[in-house]
Chain A
Amino acid sequence: MYVRNMIYIIFFDFWGVYFWGINQYNHKMKRLSVLGTLALFAFLLIACGEKEEKSKDGFSIDRQKTTEQQTETTPENTTKASERIELENKGVGVVTSVDLPTEIDQAMAANGKELYDQLCLACHRIGKKFIGPAPNDILKRRTPEWVMNMILDPELMVKEDPLARELLIEFNGSPMANQGLTEEEARAVLEYFRTL
């Protein structure tokens, strides 16, 4: 396979050179010839590459990715990601189950507000869309697990949770910062959200 390619290449390059010679005054042909030489180089590169078996895998992986992306970005739902209600999705991350007692723990919520003001307020304002969405009524749209996972590891969520990825795009591609909260701190922030 490789040897055969090389023979083609050598043959075609001489063909290209031949064209250079006979079409000295033919501008159009000159351009064609340039293209021909470029094509040859490309062909050569491929010929080199084909020697390594890995490249085939890479190519098929790429194709898989493309189809994956296509299915993901095909919007089945035309509602904005921020307004969509997903009360089953727990997101991706360390938090798999959160038990919310009916009564709000006011001390925990106060601690959550303090953390929120220091670490979140720069992008999330109460009652209005800012860099990111407002946290008001968040538990009417999201599960507590999803909220905590988003706080604890936004990078992982954007990578693996389709809704988080859509949100990133809706909010101008501005990535949510990982503010290094502990699970306990994220839980406190969640409690604060319940008071809003």
Chain B
Amino acid sequence: MKKVHYIISGFLGLILMVMSCNTGADKSNGALSSSAAEKVYVAPGEHDEFYAFISGGFSGQLSVYGLPSGRLFKVIPVFSQDAEKAWGYNEETKPMLNTSYGFVPWDDSHHPDISQTNGEVDGRYVFINGNNTPRIAKIDLSVFETTEIIEIPNSAGNHSSAFVTENTEYVVAGTRFSVPIPQRDISIKDYKGNFKGTLSFISVDPEDGGMDLSFQVLMPGFDYDLAHPGRGASHGWMFFSTYNSEEASTLMEVNASQNDKDFIAAINWKKAEEYIASGQFETMPANYAHNVYSDETHTATSTMKKEVRVLDASKLPGLAYLLPTPKSPHGCDVDPTGEYIVGNGKLSADLTVHSFTKMIAAIENENFEGEAYGIPILKFEDVLAGTVNQAGLGPLHTEFDADGNGYTTFFISSEVVKWKVGTWEVLDRAPCYYSVGHLMIPGGNSRKPYGKYVVAMNKITKDRYLPTGPEVTQSAQLYDISGDKMELLLDFPTVGEPHYAAGIAADKVIGRSRKIFELSENKHEYATTSDADVKVERNGKEVHVYMTTIRSHFNPDNIEGIKVGDKVYFHVTNLEQDYDVPHGISMIGANTSELLIMPGQTETFVWEPKQVGVWPFYCTDFCSALHQEMQGYVRVSPANSSLDLSWSLGED
């Protein structure tokens, strides 16, 4: 029987060989079917044209992709611990995850947005919101690392975030869940009138990018869903979609869908600045963390802030207006000119487009339909620019190209629909696989979109990839939008759940990208910037190891005099000054992650030895031909041992 198998496989092999010879010869055929492949093909060694920063959703992180290839470059840890990069594990980054609730090792990251200058994405920072324990993070694109996280007080479900104004004056953070403000022990049934929403404006320092919670606008107890800034003529305004204007607190899927129209809230933040300047704010006691990581000390600090300035929109005229918008609007998007504000009623088949010019006219004429808690409600007909009729089912989000077209996702009918801004006619539609949420055109929410590609981020994947058990990756899809018809080019898997994404031309980012950290600028408290300063110090039961690494050894690599019950801090400085030469270190039995130390950087892990013996450590990141030799030993003696500390490298 066995022989038969051999014979068959011999024949099969022969056929395969012949076939492969033939296909090799015919490779240039079939140009039509390979055009999509050619459009996304980035040859080995070539670079992508765009960066795409795609939120990690419930992974809490931010992923970095290249477009059009869909290749994943990096997952930047933001709100969740990441053992690979020691984020939230090493002593330096633990303070980044500090909050008023203590150390929170996870969040749900939704909406990345790139910093802007003059209404164009500028490639300095990406901001992203932590939805669950309200926070805003800033990722510095010179290092592709999270360098600042600020907690948002008086907020819950920080969803209408993190969107930047056109000169990055502010990052906004609107609350999804209204809550009692200040928090207190009251019945949930007393929601109406007692629960409030806040819209937070976090200023960004134009020089160093430092974030500061400048003020909060106190609003009625609606749910604030998404936001986008005005631009051009509407610069100075921020628009927030709302639902649950019913102010329900239970069985929301029914009770928050009763009103025919909810609102888009238009906030005049220039007016807010005037109120702040004239002192018409209330200073509320608060407690929120402000965490800053320094690339000089390679260390984060966490400061608890104790108060916040609040502007009450019910009492301060001209600060806020409500634009009636049908059917629980979700997406709230502003076109590149700043004239049109699109509200996508998610229970509707139509898109509602408001006109900024008409809104200003209606405000000047004081043509109000009513008020909600003192905030004027404009008349729907007065502000309406037009409606994209019957475009699909369940509209969610809109982005724009550079030629005056809008692209809107429809969750229920699972498609992207292209329509003309101004005439509101539907031009094209392309199916999504399946159930699309957000979409992203690089620069698509700025004055200057790059109208070449759109990325659709889908909620359901089902059969698009090889099955991986009950949980499957979520799917992004890339479409070419440079022609009249959208063309699906590529599916690619994503990390966690992609909500929103932000894209930018690669050449706006790569010039600022750092290769190393200068050793001479290392101001870490426990840095060892010269091998002459290597040492081990004891302070009671605390032991500090001042260690260095370079290809391919640790200094010291032999340490004796450590005792059971000690708390040993390994402060490891990577002395390399060359691109792409990180070193890792891990210690047997350490109750933490490895370290992954970039050239010129210092990181610290803590080891509490529990057993007498001699215990090895080693480099975890393949660094040279002698990487496997990059190892060392620590001798651990009994707690009552009188052995003095000693350390060495290369001594017998």
Contacts and interface: CB of A to CB of B under 8 A. Distances in A.
12 contacts: A20-B6, A37-B6, A41-B13, A48-B24, A51-B25, A119-B577, A121-B531, A131-B553, A174-B551, A177-B576, A178-B578, A179-B576
B20 A48 contact: yes
Contacts of A16: 10
A47 B21 contact: yes
Contacts of B11: 13, 17
Interface in B69-100: none
Interface in A94-135: 117-119, 121-123, 130-131
Contacts of B555: 122
B21 A122 contact: no
Interface of B: 3, 6-7, 10-11, 13-14, 17-18, 20-21, 24-25, 516, 519-520, 529-532, 548, 550-553, 555, 575-578, 581, 624-626, 650
B552 A174 contact: yes
Contacts of B520: 118
Q: Interface residue tally of chain A, by bracket?
A: 20 to 34
Contact of A177 (B3, B577, B650): B577
A41 B17 CA distance: 8
A119 B21 contact: no
Contacts of A131: 553
Given A117-B530, A177-B550, A44 B17 contact: yes
Contacts of B529: 118
A167 B20 CA distance: 46
Interface string A2-22: 000010011001001100110
Given A17-B7, A130-B650, A175-B624, A117 B532 contact: yes
Contacts of B551: 174-175, 177
A24 B3 contact: yes
A75 interface: no
A173 interface: yes
B381 to A, nearest CB: 66
B474 to A, nearest CB: 41
Interface string A47-65: 1100100000000000000
A174 B624 contact: yes
A24 B1 CA distance: 11
Given A117-B531, A119-B577, A131-B553, A173 B24 contact: no
Nearest to B13: A41
B14 A13 contact: yes
A177 B10 contact: no
Contacts of A175: 551, 624-625
B175 to A, nearest CB: 47
Nearest to B529: A118
Given A117-B531, A179-B578, 5 more contacts: A44-B14, A47-B21, A117-B532, A174-B551, A177-B581
B21, B24, B555, B626: most-surrounded residue (chain A CB, <10 A): B21
B650 A119 contact: no
Given A118-B529, A178-B578, A172 B626 contact: yes
A123 B650 CA distance: 11
A180 B517 CA distance: 11
Contacts of A41: 13, 17
A121 B624 contact: no
Contacts of A173: 625-626
A71 B597 CA distance: 41
Contacts of A13: 10-11, 14
Nearest to B3: A20
Nearest to A34: B6
A20 B9 CA distance: 12
Contacts of B21: 47-48, 51
Interface string A164-194: 0000000011110111110000000000000
A121 B530 contact: yes
Given A51-B21, A173-B625, A177-B551, A20 B578 contact: no
Given A51-B25, A178-B578, A179-B578, A122 B550 contact: yes
Contacts of B519: 118-119
B532 A121 contact: yes
Nearest to B600: A180
B552 A48 contact: no
A175 B627 CA distance: 11
A17 B575 CA distance: 63
A121, A173, A175: most-surrounded residue (chain B CB, <10 A): A121
A152 B74 CA distance: 30
Nearest to A119: B577
